[in-house]
Structure 1
Amino acid sequence: MSCNLPVIKTCNSLVFFDLETTGIPAFHSPKITELSFCAVERNQFLHGQPKQVPRVTNRLNLCIYPSRLVDPVASDKTKLDNYNLEHQSKFDEDVFNVIYSFLNRLKKPVCLIAHNGFRFDFPILRSEIAKLDKELPDEIFCADSLHIFRKLQRPSANSSSVIEDTTKTTVESPLVSTPVNPFQLINEKTPEKKERNELKFTRNTEMKCRKRLTFRLEDVYERVYGQKPVTSHVAEADVIALLLSAIATPIEFLNAIDCDSVPFTSIKKCW
């Protein structure tokens, strides 16, 4: 995303977001079959505990009839098809009004957070809304957690110092100290005195580790908690997995949201 776009100075509401669709954009113009929002107020998020959903959240879950055939591959993953969705409403003005009202009642600025959101969730949602000649409320921003976790979980010896500097300059937190970052377990520094061959081996190992590191949501979650999410490809379950992955390091994650978010209106439609 362009660095010239305005960003949130202080995000007051985080809305973890996921949607399921009829397929992937590479093969056709995907339509929404399910969407889920889980909103958490900034202070609730900052004082959250790993693997615990904050007690105070606002949630919205909707199933949508897509008005087109659901791809069999997508149906196999999501367990949604044209038969079990046939009595659900289409993405019409009523659905938009529900989403608008849900987001509009939250303390602003509001940031939608989706995994791979810039390439998938946000363009699809923007397309569905634009089809109705509608727009979301002002002060709605968005951020891609895939980009954020790439920064936080990369196996780099310098990543911990970058996070520390960012914390000092961008977060005004009532917390006295920064909690231990579980991502730093993969960032341990190599001792200064090493034999040349041992140092070469270490560098080669780090390069292989960097190449193998993947950032699917289930992989991100597993690196944080040592196990994969129980359920995947269900919008609400993926939203909770994303929230729990983020809340393990709330200060670092919120720093990135405040720095990397862009207006939702800047997202290009995909169809």
Structure 2
Amino acid sequence: MAESSRCETFVFLDLEATGLPNANPEIAEISLFAIHRFSLEHPERDESGTLQLPRVLDKLTLCMCPERDFTPKASEITGLSNQNLTNNHKPGFDRTVIKTLQEFLKRQESPICLVAHNGFDYDFPLLRTELQRLGADMPEGTICLDTLPTLRGLDKAHHHSTRASHGKKSYSLSNLYRRYFNDEPKAAHSAEGDVYTLVMVFLHRAPELLQCFDAEAQSWDEIEPMYTPTPGDSVVEATMPEMHYPHPLPLRFYSQGCGLDAKVRRGPELFWILSRVDSSERERKEELSKSELEETSEVTEANKNPYMTKNLFYNIFNRWPSNLCLKTYREGKPTTS
């Protein structure tokens, strides 16, 4: 792996999500603390010698409302729910989130190392999945470090003993904090609270963790998505060129299994159209006419929520394939007005 000296900024990361990996979770909260290598190599202490959170650091915490429902257990643990996120008008993991993350990371000296506890099995793959939905990625050269297997390996090599009060060996973030600081972690299972705990745990073992960086870190490019978004999770943006109609028609399609939601803009007006498409009939191609577009829009404008004709849908995608610009992204699920 790359030498540790190559990473100048360590971005400590935690995610809160709708469930465990087997539930194909979505991110509901993300928190990052960006700390320069200097502060990890020269930790701050108070008058009693107790480690302190570095004074110089950048923080970013965002909440977002996922489309997927929280599992009851995830909601209980995190204190988040679809309801309270909706009540606070939080949009989902969209392009605004991506831009905010990119700008936050752009402020940091590169190369960057992402640090998470159980990151290889949860945080990194889930973040990769969410980024993949939007066609986005981390900065080139990003490195990842998971403190869970790294600390376990260090203890095994040096015969340390990290145990909870009941005597069983544990490497949960909370138990590590209790062991190292003889105190309860603050705001556990909030993303920002867990990042604070992670930073303090890292500082406690910083010399060892930085020394073993080469053997334990992985390139972001090696991280696989937690799961491949299904058609029901993907969102596609396309702009149809101005050909039969006086206005270009930006189309945003939200696939929902066998169906598809499309938002069609004609001039200043906005229409919701629900399209049910049988993929086995995709070969059918018929002429797209101005009258067909107008008829569909007029019915939608009357709030009758019609089905877009299959022929119209196929023609949009098959008539001008070279002129369609498709980008994966995520936005709030449409509702019929």
Question: What is the TM-score when the length of structure 1 is the normalising length?
Answer: 0.75
How far does residue 23 in structure 1 lie from its aligned partner after superposition?
0.5
The equivalent residue for 1:22 is: 18
Find the residue that maps to 1:231 and give its secondary structure: coil
Contact 1:231 1:237 in 2 (8 A): yes
C-alpha contact 2:114 2:144 (8 A) present in aligned 1: yes
Q: 1:163-174 counterparts in 2 under 5 A?
A: none
Query: For 1:96-119, what per-residue CA distance to the aligned partner results, in whole angstroms no more than 9, with x for missing partners?
Result: 111111112211111000000000
- The alpha carbon displacement at 1:257 in A equals 2.9
Partner of 2:72: 72
Q: Could you tell me how far apart the structure 2 residues matched to 1:265 and 1:250 are?
A: 25
TM-score by length of 2: 0.61
Using the TM superposition, give the Cα deviation of residue 9 of structure 1 relative to its aligned residue in structure 2, in angstroms: 3.9
RMSD of aligned Cα (Å): 2.1
* Alignment partners' CA distance in 2, 1:153 and 1:48: 22
Matches within 5 A, 1:1-271: 6-10=1-5, 11-26=7-22, 28-49=23-44, 50-86=50-86, 87-154=89-156, 159=158, 186=161, 212-271=168-227
Give distance in 2, aligned partners of 1:21 and 1:38. 18
Whole-Å Cα distance in 2 between the matches of residues 42 and 258 of structure 1? 15
CA contact (8 A) 1:140 1:263 kept: yes
The alpha-carbon distance between structure 1 residues 149 and 235, as it changes in their structure 2 partners (threshold 3 A), is same
Give structure 1 regions of 4+ aligned residues with deviation exceeding 4 angstroms.
Answer: none
CA distance in 2, matches of 1:153, 1:40: 25
- Tell me the distance in 2 between the aligned counterparts of 1:140 and 1:13: 10
Q: Tell me, in whole angstroms, the C-alpha distance in 2 between the residues paired with 1:152 and 1:109.
A: 25
The whole-number CA distance in structure 2 between the counterparts of 1:138 and 1:37 is 18
Higher relative contact order (Cα pairs below 8 Å, separated by 6+ residues): 1
- For residue 62 of structure 2, give the secondary structure of its aligned residue in structure 1: strand
Aligned amino acid, residue 59 of structure 1:
K
Counterpart amino acid of 1:45? L
Q: Which runs of 5+ in 1 are unaligned?
A: 1-5, 161-183, 188-208
Q: In structure 2, what is the Cα distance between the partners aligned to 1:67 and 1:134?
A: 19
**Which amino acid is 2:42 matched to?**
H
Distance 1:74 1:51 in 2: 31
Q: Is the 8 A contact 2:15 2:31 kept in 1?
A: yes
Evaluate the alpha carbon distance shift between residue 260 and residue 124 of structure 1 in structure 2; reply closer, same or farther with a 3 A threshold: same
| 3-state SS of 1:38 partner | strand
1:265: how far off?
2.0
Task: Provide the rounded CA distance (Å) in 2 between the counterparts of 1:36 and 1:258.
Answer: 25
More helix by share: 1
Contact 1:19 / 1:34 at 8 angstroms: preserved in 2?
yes
Q: Deviations over 1:170-206 (max 9, x none)?
A: xxxxxxxxxxxxxx5x59xxxxxxxxxxxxxxxxxxx
Between the aligned partners of 1:57 and 1:81, the Cα distance in structure 2 is 30
Per-residue deviation, residues 198-234 of structure 1 (Å, max 9, x unmatched): xxxxxxxxxxx9x921111011111111223132100
* Residue 159 (structure 1) shift: 1.4
Query: 1:84, CA displacement in angstroms?
Result: 1.3
Post-superposition shift, 1:8?
4.1
> Conserved in 2, the CA contact under 8 Å of 1:8 and 1:109?
no
Give yes or no for contact 1:7–1:260 (8 Å, CA) kept in 2.
Answer: no
Alpha-carbon distance in 2 for matches of 1:152, 1:231: 27
- One-letter amino acid matched to 2:131: I
Structure ID, larger Rg: 2
